Structure 1
Amino acid sequence: MKQHPRCWSATAVVAASVLVFTGPFSVQAVAGPGSAPALAAHQAPSSTGVPTGEHTVTLITGDVVTTRQGSGGAGGTVTVRDADGKPARSRLTEADGDLFVYPESALPFVAEGSLDRELFNVTDLIEDGYDDASRKRLPLIVSYRNAAAHRTAAVPDGARKVRDLASVQGAALSADRARAAEFWRSVTGDNSVDDGIGDAHTDAAFLDGVAHIWLDAPVEADLADSTAQIGAPRAWAGGNTGQGVEVAVLDTGVDAGHPDLADRIVARQSFVPDENTDDRDGHGTHVASTVAGTGAASDGKEKGVAPGARLSIGKVLDNSGRGQISWTLAAMEWATVERHAKIVNMSLGSSQQSDGSDPMSQAVDRLSAQTGALFVVAAGNAGEAGTIGAPGVATSALTVGAVDSTDTVAPFSSQGPRVDGALKPEITAPGVGILAANSSFAANGNGAYQSLSGTSM
């Protein structure tokens, strides 16, 4: 979870109040003619986080944020209005170069930890294609306080249920941005009071047993003579080839016709809307053959680590290598509860840091305890201390960093600790220049093998 060390408030009390970023030096609230005096200028952080161009983002509360930034990166502006078009009371913060806009009604829930801060990260929402021009609906994950609430809770107004997510005792929802204010009232109710001096306070408790609301955020593949390096040939000689063990690979799909994988795959399912399990990115096929490839296309030379294992393939990343948290959660449940896989490989993750309380990490811990499955998760490729994101931060996950052929930690390999100081990753493994199966469906699908680097490998 990102920290927010610097913040400033902007209370819009006039007809045309605009927060103006005058380059990287100051932030000022400007009032229209004949209105109340403007707020005093505040010292701004070195990076305003206002993306280039003009963008509109309707937040979960129904408040509408509009950003404008010239190509030169100076003089950017941010306006915040409520669902009726009136200036909205909001707090702006900057952290790690990202702009966060918190409407006043959301602040108690964010402070309580029940509302995901990333729902208000305007910079990332725009850059990840979660702005109004890109998406008319906002993808959310909701968890409930107990099993009874999970069973009986009605879908909030302005939203529809996409799928149930038992691993987080919740559901994936899709909220209509045009009805965002209606959705917000449905989950919070009319529980704000005025203290008599114009400041409203809200009881930080959602209605209908809702415990947490998260952004159904993006998930991406972790990309950046390995079997001998980890001693696999000695294990094979001793009869340990993974025979009889089912491993689930949750990734970009698979080239099921590749010679190295043709007789290893026992189940395939896509959790990506409107896409089959064919791997048009190439990452999933590479990972699957690293796990259990037979080396058939190379006369047995390029075997995976466990060539006797069976593979269940869950496609959770689309043809461009991107997915959503809810797709991944659904596949995790399928792999462990339905397929009974003993090992679940997840060479993917979110860029957002966490203490393990995020949805994917919670699901790893819950499903591990429920089924006994081991989740093997890539540490990520941010290459700096404290950059391991979800689900690699899960307490029950075996999180893997990358080393090169000399067992030196790869410069791209994400490092711990977790944001609460917990030790991560647990182990490292070869991840530089790994040769494995190439998907014939991918753009670079010529040849049986390709070399890739990353903590995925």
Structure 2
Amino acid sequence: MTTGPVRRSAVLVAVGLLGALLPSGPAAAVPRTPVTAPHSPGPATTATTVTLVTGDKVTVTDLGHGKKAVTVQRPKGATGAVRTQRSAGEISVVPDEALPYLRAGTLDRRLFDVSGLIRQGLTDARAAATPLIVTYGRSARAAPPAGTEQTRSLPSLRGAAVEAGKGRTFWRSSPTATASTRCGWTAG
């Protein structure tokens, strides 16, 4: 074991290096704040809600850079799931309970085109009702379905232009449940 000048030199070199690496004087007493890039807020998010004729509330949130988040709030009494489809920037949301009517042709698919509804200003913030055209077959009674208000008679179509409230009353009245009633879209 060495205890002479070599060990003393090694200790002095270590202390010298440590002293050179540590700050001294008044600057040593000032706490350092990490340097970060200036905070730039992310893109502003814009949320738009549309209520479908089924009573489902669909909220589309623009996240910026072409990205959108879609959430669906199901109404009380709704059954099944919802199918969200995105194609070429367009969003549609179809509840399972609407599928049989869409397949039978008694319900217009555009009623579930969320992007189209937003473009036409039929958001919950701007419109209290959804404009529809209801047509009746020969055996159906020509009366506006529950949850709607007739805005115009369309005798040549054996139907009416109606406005469906944003709740689920219209859907529960099931105008599409009979093969002799059709529910379609009108451009307000």
Q: TM-score, normalised by structure 1?
A: 0.30
**Where in structure 2 are the equivalents of 1:109-148 lying within 5 Å?**
109-146=101-138
Q: Distance in 2 between matches of 1:83 and 1:54?
A: 19
In structure 2, do the counterparts of structure 1 residues 169 and 160 end up closer, same or farther at CA, with 3 Å as the change threshold?
A: same
Q: Deviations over 1:38-60 (max 9, x none)?
A: xxxxxxxxxxxxxx720101000
**Where in structure 2 are the equivalents of 1:247-396 lying within 5 Å?**
324=188
Q: Distance in 1 between matches of 2:169 and 2:143?
A: 14
Q: Give the CA deviation at 1:84.
A: 3.1
**Residue type of the partner of 1:163?**
R
Q: Give the CA deviation at 1:208.
A: 8.7
**Residue type of the partner of 1:114?**
T
Identity over the aligned pairs, expressed in percent?
39
Q: Deviations over 1:150-186 (max 9, x none)?
A: xx33321111111110221111011111x3x111010
Q: Distance in 2 between matches of 1:67 and 1:157?
A: 28
1:79 aligns with 2:71: yes
Q: Distance in 2 between matches of 1:85 and 1:206?
A: 17
Instruction: Give the aligned partner of residue 38 of structure 1.
Output: none
Instruction: Give the aligned partner of residue 214 of structure 1.
Output: 184
Q: Give the CA deviation at 1:86.
A: 8.3
Q: TM-score, normalised by structure 2?
A: 0.68
**Residue type of the partner of 1:62?**
G
| Partner of residue 183 from structure 1, selected from 159, 163, 170 | 170
Q: Give the CA deviation at 1:81.
A: 1.7
**Residue type of the partner of 2:102?**
V
Indicate if the aligned counterparts of 1:159 and 1:174 stay in contact, CA closer than 8 A. Answer: yes
Q: Distance in 2 between matches of 1:209 and 1:144?
A: 6
Q: Which runs of 4+ in 1 moved over 4 A?
A: 85-88
Instruction: Give the aligned partner of residue 49 of structure 2.
Output: 56
Instruction: Give the aligned partner of residue 170 of structure 1.
Output: 159
In structure 2, do the counterparts of structure 1 residues 110 and 170 end up closer, same or farther at CA, with 3 Å as the change threshold?
A: same
In structure 2, do the counterparts of structure 1 residues 54 and 95 end up closer, same or farther at CA, with 3 Å as the change threshold?
A: same
**Residue type of the partner of 1:113?**
G
Q: Distance in 2 between matches of 1:61 and 1:88?
A: 12
Q: Deviations over 1:366-420 (max 9, x none)?
A: xxxxxxxxxxxxxxxxxxxxxxxxxxxxxxxxxxxxxxxxxxxxxxxxxxxxxxx
Q: Which runs of 5+ in 1 are unaligned?
A: 1-51, 189-204, 218-323, 325-457
In structure 2, do the counterparts of structure 1 residues 86 and 206 end up closer, same or farther at CA, with 3 Å as the change threshold?
A: closer
Q: Give the CA deviation at 1:85.
A: 9.7
In structure 2, do the counterparts of structure 1 residues 87 and 170 end up closer, same or farther at CA, with 3 Å as the change threshold?
A: closer
Larger helix share, 1 or 2? 2
1:107 aligns with 2:99: yes
**Residue type of the partner of 2:97?**
S
Q: Distance in 1 between matches of 2:134 and 2:71?
A: 28
Q: Distance in 2 between matches of 1:133 and 1:68?
A: 14
Higher relative contact order (CA 8 A, sep 6+): 2
Q: Deviations over 1:184-237 (max 9, x none)?
A: 01025xxxxxxxxxxxxxxxx524941x111212xxxxxxxxxxxxxxxxxxxx
Indicate if the aligned counterparts of 1:102 and 1:120 stay in contact, CA closer than 8 A. Answer: yes
